[in-house]
A and B are shown apart, each in its own frame.
Chain A
Amino acid sequence: MRRAFLLGLGLAGCAPAAPPPEGQLVVHVTTDAPLPAAPGQPLPVVPALFDRLELALYEPGAVSPCDDCRREVAVDHELVDSGRASFGSVAPPGKSGYRLRVRLYRNAGTIAGTPRPASTIETMVDLPAVREGVVDHVTVMLRTDDVGKPPGPPTAALPGRPPEGWVGSFPGATRVPCAGAPPAGMACVPGGAFWMGDPTLDTTDSSEYDGRLERLVVVSPFFVDVSEVTVAAFRKSGLATSLFPGGPSDNPHVPGPGFEHCRYTESAGELEGHPVNCTSWDKARAYCESLGNSLPSEAQLEYLQSALGRGPFVWGTEAPACPDAVFDREPGAACAAAGTGPAAVGSGVRDRLELDSVTVVDLAGNLSEWASDQWNRETEACWGTGVFHDPRCETPSAVDPPARVMRGGGWHTSPPLMRAALRARLANETQAVSHAVGFRCVRQP
């Protein structure tokens, strides 16, 4: 309005010269992490690792942000890469000692919306003094490799605007293809980064289940069996054994009292296309090694079961209906009408993941699966925060009896226990042979 008034005066030929701008900083924030697509843009190939940004300005000597000096905003690739993740800071010219705390964090699924240290990149920077009548640009760069690290002493903000094209350049997050085509019956799982652990799981201080704590995991590409190992495939290996010469097989165990849902039979029958269960961890490993393969790590299994880090189930976020996967099939349970016990591989209509035109099935249900890792609680030595590259736990738990990890849900579980991040343990003993657990194998390209 006042401009219009001045324009009127200007028309009268009396416009004065504009004064120089007020001295200030424009502070930009950028990162090498993959971020969500801007609204309306197609989903990126690589899932976002962070989605919110918190900015807090501290005045000289202050231990908490000044009034109205803290803000949290949703961020996306376009906003940050174009340099618009920025704000203005006006301070008395020449006065130094202003600090800025920047937190880039993962908000997904949280209730309180506050940053969790394990999934936050945090830094404190010293801002340069404002110059009289000058607008200076500075940049704070957040590196994915610093996730989970406690903030060190303040560093200096970099002069200038942020570089373009840096967002999403974190090497670990790049989808890395396999070297070569997958062997028959296997699919290539491209390498990449994902959040292992799910903060929305309520596994309060449990010794049997956990998976609530997050850590950023980088997985190298690998080949994986397209289904859980079948009875037919196991029979072909000739590895089934009995403790008694001429007696019934008990590893894998054949059906019998107490073992009603075991699928392996002494001779080939109707269940050859079912996944083999009632097998010990040692036997499962021996099977994989007999083919030059190995058991998958729990990180590899969670990566797969979360559709390469996209959600709690391979199909997304919603709980399954009975046809979607083989689950809740205990006698009397919600999906028992479809039959009790494991079903033929690939029976779940949505329990499948397409990987370069190859379909991997039964990731959420049918059978829980052995992982190669020793069981460690998520708070123990094998795990922690930061960036993990192809983790595999080889050290027994210091607090729980020796056990191996099993991952994923199965015919016996309800949807809460089918979530990709849920970790469970099972003793590697002969008695631990379970009709709920099967396995699949992996191979390094």
Chain B
Amino acid sequence: MFRRLSVIVLVGAFSASADVRAESPPADAGVEQARALFRKGSELAADARWNEALAEFERSALLRPHAATSYNIGICQRALGRYTRAQQLFARALGEGADGDLPPSILADIEGYLKETEAAVVRLNVRLQPADATISVDGAPLEVLSASPARLRAGTTQPGRGRRAPAERFALTLDPGTHVFVLSRRGFADVIVRHSFKSGEQRDLDLALEKLPSTLHVTSTEPRSAVSIDGVDVGLAPVALSRPAGSYRIAVRKQGFLPYEVSARARAGERVEVPARLQRDEPALTQRWWFWTAAGVVVAGVALGTYAATRPEPDRPAVDGGGLGWAIRAR
């Protein structure tokens, strides 16, 4: 009902405006073109072709700004569900019409529409962490209505990159529907998140960025050493893995070498280099081959007879662990 009424008012407003202009001194070509666009827009609006009407009115406004044109653009924006932009245009129409360009009936309608859109817009109490992150909504920065208390509005600025908000907590008005929030700050992972809101909804909204993960880069002096992080086998060195910031216990192992173990603390967005220097597992004197060779010869010479009676069975060949050196013994 209200939307239908807006069409009637729109045509009336255009007619009034056109009449006023008809009595004006001869207009230049730009004004004539603006007037033609205004008429075309009004005809399209009467058929509820709001997108097309909007384009005509906006072109008309570029050629000649006028309170009636701003009002009509506001009507189109409102019909398209862009309430915050409609509010901006209605406010502009009131400013442009302050010198009597708009009849009282239209002024009264604007007041009504402003009340109506005030009830329809979404109101959020936003908490932004960290506070100096930049924020954009639907690919455009926010319009700052007041810095203290911080009040911002979405949907009324040209597309562009996000900007910092004036405070960590701020009130944000935006249209009902689905919106994309883009948050960004150095050292933090960018967040692109969608939220949906109902008409007239009011609620708190926490927007927080998470610190970037860290990268653990583990290398070894010995190729194909096994790397584990907090006890979890993560592959063969060199290995680079992303992990949340924090402390990690890193172990590098290879057969025949002493294990290399170290604790590493990784900060957000930081790359931590862990160069493992593996040292050969040097056997003790009693583990040298020649010691036991000599001992074997001596023992064999002394105890050959005993040995013949108690000769031990040699071990089977070791299980083949393949190229990964890993053998599973299943039940």
Contacts and interface: CB of A to CB of B under 8 A. Distances in A.
B243 interface: yes
A89 B327 contact: yes
A291 interface: no
A152 interface: no
A306 to B, nearest CB: 18
B244 A26 contact: no
A42 interface: no
A18 B316 contact: yes
A241 B191 CA distance: 40
B296 A9 contact: yes
Interface string A195-231: 0000001111111110000000000000000000000
B184 A416 contact: yes
Interface of A is mostly: loop
A20 B160 contact: no
A244 B33 contact: yes
Contacts of B320: 21, 24, 26, 88, 135
Given A4-B289, A111-B243, A202 B191 contact: yes
Interface in B228-282: 233-236, 238-239, 241-244
B328 A83 contact: no
A66 B328 CA distance: 9
Contacts of A72: 233-235
Interface stretch (B88-96, B108-116, B306-314): B306-314
A55 to B, nearest CB: 8
B207 to A, nearest CB: 12
B255 to A, nearest CB: 14
B326 A9 contact: no
A119 interface: no
A90 B323 contact: no
Nearest to A113: B241
B304 interface: yes
B55 A431 contact: yes
Given A18-B316, A414-B184, A207 B330 contact: no
B326 A5 contact: no
B74 interface: no
Given A14-B307, A57-B328, A208-B139, A247 B33 contact: yes
B319 A20 contact: no
Interface in A398-415: 412-414
B322 A204 contact: no
Contacts of A22: 316-317, 319
A40 to B, nearest CB: 9
Interface in A234-251: 243-244, 247, 250
A282 interface: no
A56 B285 CA distance: 41
Contacts of A14: 300, 304, 307-308, 311
Nearest to B283: A1
Given A18-B317, A72-B235, A206 B192 contact: yes
Given A4-B289, A109-B242, A88 B311 contact: no
B274 to A, nearest CB: 15
A58 B13 CA distance: 79
Contacts of A362: none
Contacts of B223: 39
A166 interface: no
A173 B292 CA distance: 57
Size category of the binding interface on chain B: 35 or more
**Max count, chain A CB within 10 A of own CB: residue among B33, B138, B326, B328:** B328
Contacts, number: 207
Contact of B138 (A203, A208, A429): A208
Interface of B is mostly: mixed
A19 interface: yes
B329 interface: yes
B317 A5 contact: no
Contacts of A3: 289
A436 interface: yes
Interface string A241-263: 00110010010000011100000
B189 interface: yes
Contacts of A257: 62
B316 A12 contact: no
Interface in A22-66: 22, 24, 26-28, 39, 52, 57, 59, 66
B328 A74 contact: no
Given A86-B322, A111-B244, A434 B159 contact: yes
B129 interface: no
B160 A12 contact: no
B146 interface: no
A202 B159 contact: no
Nearest to B323: A84
Interface in A80-114: 82-92, 98, 107, 109-111, 113
Given A109-B242, A436-B159, A7 B296 contact: yes
- 3 smallest A-B Cβ distances: which pairs? A8-B296, A84-B323, A86-B322
Interface of B: 33, 51, 54-55, 58-59, 62, 134, 138-139, 158-162, 178, 180, 182, 184, 189-194, 213, 223, 233-236, 238-239, 241-244, 283, 287, 289-297, 299-301, 304, 307-308, 311, 313-317, 319-324, 326-331
25 contacts: A1-B283, A3-B289, A5-B292, A6-B314, A7-B289, A9-B300, A18-B317, A19-B314, A59-B331, A84-B323, A87-B322, A87-B324, A88-B319, A92-B331, A107-B241, A111-B242, A207-B180, A208-B180, A209-B180, A244-B33, A328-B161, A414-B161, A414-B184, A431-B51, A431-B54
